[in-house]
Amino acid sequence: MPNYKKVATKIAKSRAIYLFELAHSVFPECKKFSQRYVELAMKYAQRVKFKIPSRWKQRICHKCKRFLYPGINCRIRLQSRKGKGSHISVTCLECNFTTRFFIKAKSHLKESWMNNK
């Protein structure tokens, strides 16, 4: 007997990823359609309970849930700070909300570099 929950999750995940790709390609022509595709993809993720891939999760504003397209409705800046940590800041130009994605330093590379010196 097939595991229906696994099959449903697999189908929903593939459809959601397809919808995100479609939203990305349609956005410059029609913002409304891309917004609808993102809403549908998020509904799939909520109903079947799977994690949206980080690549696409970073493209949704955390406050207003709009699709972010760099250069049109969002601003991306790189911040390099030694104390607090380097991060990528994404600012939504629709609601002016800034999301920070911290860049983790690879400790094993750092250690190997320290040993060579």
Which residues sit at the interface with Zn ion, rule CB under 5 A?
Answer: 61, 63-64, 92, 94-95, 97
Q: Which CB sits closer to Zn ion, 11 or 95?
A: 95
Residue 65 CB partners (closer than 8 Å, separation 6+): 38, 39, 42
Q: Return the closest-CA partner of residue 60 out of 10, 94, 30, 86.
A: 94
Q: Which CB sits closer to Zn ion, 12 or 41?
A: 41
Q: Return the closest-CA partner of residue 75 out of 96, 64, 91.
A: 91
Least gap, CB of 93 to Zn ion (angstroms): 8
Least gap, CB of 66 to Zn ion (angstroms): 5
Least gap, CB of 90 to Zn ion (angstroms): 10
Fill in the DSSP letter of residue 45. H
Q: Which CB sits closer to Zn ion, 9 or 73?
A: 73
